[in-house]
């Protein structure tokens, strides 16, 4: 009996390893990236502290400030799109063949990658709270500024992938996130007002409609 067990031990080990791998893959595929239950877009002025990678962070004033005169850039057109290069960790915003802006970014870590494909913004929020991760990767981030959630290429909206401003690190050009696209907050602000759906003055959130569709986002290596 002992000899039979020894013979089958490697097979049992392989089966258990495959089960563990499948469970990890399933958790990753079905996990919520940086989603939020609060889609109001309202700033929580009472939330002043955040937690990222085991460190408590005081949220800077830039996350709370609203532009006195929001930029007026005209209605977005089908020619406008955002290109994200994962290998270079760069974002480019195009208006036809004209480059509107280019910036370094931080996309998903190897075990929480940013998806590749073609997407569209489905909602924009002036601010929201993001919380998730475990252990040293736990994060609690109130008042994440200028959030632009996107969907498409088989990725549903509830997965919580988006572009947003970032106050908890300044190490752009390297991967850092749980799948979202981290932007310098001033850049996120510019994109927030440049992209569609166009947000009415005084509003803190806007969803896409047939008459106010979302800007296209192309993500590639």
pLDDT tens digits, 177-197: 999 999 999 999 999 999 999
178 catalytic? Reply is no
Cα 124 from chain centre: 12
33 catalytic? Reply is no
What is the value of pTM for the model shown? 0.84
Residue 3: per-residue pLDDT: 56
- pLDDT tens-digit readout, 42-95: 999 999 999 998 999 999 999 999 887 766 555 566 699 999 999 999 999 999
Query: Which of 164, 169, 176, 178 does the annotation list as catalytic?
Result: 164
Residue 76: per-residue pLDDT: 60
Element (H, E) at 21: helix 2-29
């Amino acid at each position: 009996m002992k000899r039979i067990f020894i013979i089958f031990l490697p097979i049992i080990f392989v089966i258990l390893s495959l089960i563990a791998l499948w469970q990890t893959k399933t958790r990753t595929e079905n996990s919520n990236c940086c989603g939020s239950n609060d889609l109001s877009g309202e700033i929580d002025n009472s939330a002043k502290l955040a937690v990222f990678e085991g460190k408590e962070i005081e949220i800077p004033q830039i996350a709370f400030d609203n532009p006195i005169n929001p930029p007026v850039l005209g209605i977005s057109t089908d020619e406008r799109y955002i290109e994200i290069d994962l290998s270079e960790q760069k974002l480019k915003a195009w208006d036809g063949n004209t480059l509107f802006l280019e910036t370094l970014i931080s996309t998903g870590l190897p075990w929480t990658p940013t998806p590749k494909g073609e997407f569209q913004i489905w909602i924009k929020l002036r601010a929201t709270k993001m919380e998730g991760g475990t252990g040293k990767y736990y994060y609690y981030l109130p008042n994440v500024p200028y959030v632009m959630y996107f969907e498409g290429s088989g990725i549903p909206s509830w997965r919580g992938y988006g572009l947003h401003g970032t106050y908890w690190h300044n190490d752009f050009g390297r991967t850092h996130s749980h799948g979202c696209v981290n932007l310098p907050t001033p850049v996120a602000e510019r994109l927030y007002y440049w992209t569609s759906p166009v947000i009415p003055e005084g509003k803190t959130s806007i969803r896409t409609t047939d008459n106010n569709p979302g800007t296209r986002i192309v993500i590639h290596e």
